[in-house]
Structure 1
């Protein structure tokens, strides 16, 4: 098994239905095609293959209150879920346990998706349409952005344990944007020890801190922002400006000053940094701008944050090198692209030999239909759980492979040579083993000598004590005999 990065794209043609397509990120080769789905931006989420269960993709339909669920092991719809109302955006937490959906009326639905499909909570979160949703990486918080220019942060534990009679109250509210919110991205880390990036039609990208509930920096761009991405190391932000030119602006959060590196911004509400407004060469990578040449509809980063993926209205996914801004390749999908998701190629992907491993295959993840009404009683609720048989190899172990092979494949994923991966040669291992054996033998010899010295000291002490006791006894016997002679 090898680590191959792939890209999942959803399309929305002007006529007919769209598709979900999976392509190899390095070569652009089509890997899979899922038909009969049409999803708008931010309405597709992916649950990767993990914990011994197959991966799935969910897609909220643009023209009806239906959610399609696709398994990577089948090219047909695995499950159709009829929803209470049409969703404008969706999000799934990293563990694949919870699914959230926002509506045009400002409501948010929260389902315990994989376990039971139960509707845990539904509440009026915003005054206008919910445009974007995002879970924190630990799943403890849900962030929602809306057309009312507000951003709310919700406690997931409170939402799951909330009283049906009480409306949930957000933990935090960010209201510094003046026009509708278009995108939010939560940084790496446990909540609240992480940061938030938000984009808006007001031409600004803002960086927030959860722990202090403060605005750190505002980046002002020449045009309204439609999409934003945050790299895994939190050094770069890429923002798409609306327009036929498809301009993508790079925001650097670190800069070099003399002999040290310092953070950019962080001064608070009054800290405004203007980008893209200087008289610079637009094609120069140092200007922090990429001109795609056509309208960009979605933006994403590869798993290693080394490649930037830009989906366009013309049906192409353009792949750029993050460092040089050079276009490496273009993947043709054929229709307007609405969602792009970078992921590892599923080991249970249909039509590939990797689906069958050793004695069995990876089971399809059990999914229950999403309920339309809120659950009131949890006792007696059936939950689908797949248990591994005792004493047999589980499906999870079938997709694991040795550490040395994992390191080599990870090196290829990072575009590095396998020689750069640290591997200890067999000769060095044998020499180290011999050295340790010699050290053990030396320590055993020292321990034997110390034990011999201890035994000799103990024997000498015993002999000395016995001799003293013997002399004492002889002296006592002598005194007794002398006393007996005097008495007679």
Structure 2
């Protein structure tokens, strides 16, 4: 069976650019030029294109974000946010992008329009890392202030909830004493674990559902990169001493090695600090990038190196492992001119600098990316905050078009919601409010038009009938 993974790596040196290799053959596919990326600043947006936040030029007052198509080495779209963006991430299907600012603000953009949907002050110092949960409903951020915070996008993007709440975050995890360097989150929705790394030489394991510290692991050196084993028995921690430490996650594993408690072993071949890690589930391979300019591919079972890529002139500071898009054949890169003409139009417009609450407010709908290349499944993205945005607009405007739009959106979401019912049954009662992002809606659909016509408090009614829905599925 043909392996479909691509390796993408970037550097903080603009001349080194972004390298792209076939993981199976090791062949370099393309070199994307003039990219000086920030740590955690590289992302692949819905398999459509590559995006990266750029290190600020000394003379510049704002940051920049670049988009590359798969077929051209030059950046195709340039954006200039209101401040330098450090970490940069997209949700799993590429409909939304988040960026963390030097000021501690977080920005949320809609990819297809470039619209800045929300900006909020998240940390006292610069944001250093941003990670979406597996279902895209939560965002986890880390900062130079040593704090890790969990954000529900439902709450953040709902003005009504924001005004009622004393703070926007779900949890504020403050056990680290120095800058947070990396964050990963496991599978399992609200039952997942979070692992955070810090310059205080610790990695901390947290319960997402309770916001509680489960395990604290002290390392011999500062950890700048972490990645989870797919089975979540161990995690790998890349350190500034060049080692990649293997740490235990299982509760019964408390034995100490020469490295310290819960540290099982290490991988060593990099001559300088390990700056980034990734994992290929397809090939069951660990990937590491370093300040030595090399990307190494490891077999976790034997702890041996199976392949190496030389990135170029500068240090490697980001690695991604992505599925090869359906429209990319093995010869597609060499035929880049014809391919770019067919697919170049898929790139969206630049990101906006400021929130514009009035622009196209009455045109909001279910946002979907183009599927001409069969990049995405034929299912509308379950946007966890669109419901609240629509409710706000409906209450403010009361237009029949908005009413019809809301009813249609709920019908579309019904398909995915029914598939999730069995998982909801296992969720704790405290998570019930988050079901606003996946309403089943056999109850709601029958009532929604009546609520709008009567001009009652739509938000309150949804919460009331959500309780009825929760009782039914439990």
Q: Same fold (TM over 0.5)?
A: yes
1:25 is aligned to 2:6: no
Deviation at 1:364, TM superposition (A): 4.5
Deviation at 1:379, TM superposition (A): 2.2
> Which of 207, 213, 216 does residue 214 from structure 2 map onto?
216
Deviation at 1:287, TM superposition (A): 5.0
Q: Specify the SS of the correspondent of 1:26.
A: coil
1:147 is aligned to 2:147: no
> Which of 231, 234, 241 does residue 233 from structure 1 map onto?
231
Partner of 2:113: 116
Indicate conservation of the 8 Å contact 1:183/1:199, yes or no: yes
d(CA) in 2 for partners of 1:346, 1:217: 38
Q: Specify the SS of the correspondent of 2:349.
A: coil
Deviation at 1:7, TM superposition (A): 0.3
> Which of 240, 262, 265 does residue 288 from structure 1 map onto?
265
Indicate conservation of the 8 Å contact 2:186/2:193, yes or no: yes
Partner of 1:343: 322
Q: 295-304 or 379-388: which moved more?
A: 379-388
* CA separation of 1:5 and 1:386: change in aligned 2, threshold 3 A: closer
Q: Specify the SS of the correspondent of 2:327.
A: coil
d(CA) in 1 for partners of 2:218, 2:283: 23
Partner of 1:204: 202
Partner of 1:250: 246
| CA deviation map 1:396-453 (0-9, x unaligned) | 29999xxxxxxxxxxxxxxxxxxxxxxxxxxxxxxxxxxxxxxxxxxxxxxxxxxxxx
Deviation at 1:387, TM superposition (A): 6.3
5+ residue gaps, structure 1: 50-54, 255-261, 266-272, 280-285, 389-393, 401-488
| CA deviation map 1:63-95 (0-9, x unaligned) | 251100111133322211111111111111112
Partner of 1:326: 304
d(CA) in 1 for partners of 2:294, 2:225: 17
1:160 is aligned to 2:139: no
* CA separation of 1:278 and 1:133: change in aligned 2, threshold 3 A: closer
Partner of 1:367: 348
* CA separation of 1:216 and 1:58: change in aligned 2, threshold 3 A: same
* CA separation of 1:88 and 1:276: change in aligned 2, threshold 3 A: farther
Q: Extract structure 1 runs of 4+ deviating beyond 4 A.
A: 163-168, 273-276, 352-357, 360-364, 380-388, 397-400
Q: Specify the SS of the correspondent of 2:40.
A: coil
Q: Specify the SS of the correspondent of 2:346.
A: coil
Deviation at 1:2, TM superposition (A): 4.0
Partner of 2:426: none
Which entry has the higher C-alpha Rg, 1 or 2?
A: 1
Q: 321-330 or 160-169: which moved more?
A: 160-169
1:178 is aligned to 2:177: yes
Residues paired across the two proteins, number: 362
d(CA) in 2 for partners of 1:382, 1:76: 33
Q: Specify the SS of the correspondent of 1:127.
A: coil
1:311 is aligned to 2:289: yes
Deviation at 1:362, TM superposition (A): 5.6
Indicate conservation of the 8 Å contact 2:46/2:95, yes or no: no
Deviation at 1:367, TM superposition (A): 1.2
Deviation at 1:206, TM superposition (A): 1.1
1:264 is aligned to 2:253: yes
Q: TM-score, normalised by structure 1?
A: 0.68
d(CA) in 2 for partners of 1:128, 1:301: 30
Indicate conservation of the 8 Å contact 2:171/2:211, yes or no: yes
Partner of 1:127: 124
Indicate conservation of the 8 Å contact 1:71/1:364, yes or no: no
Q: CA RMSD in A?
A: 3.1
d(CA) in 2 for partners of 1:278, 1:60: 36
Q: What does 1:408-487 correspond to in 2, within 5 Å? A: none
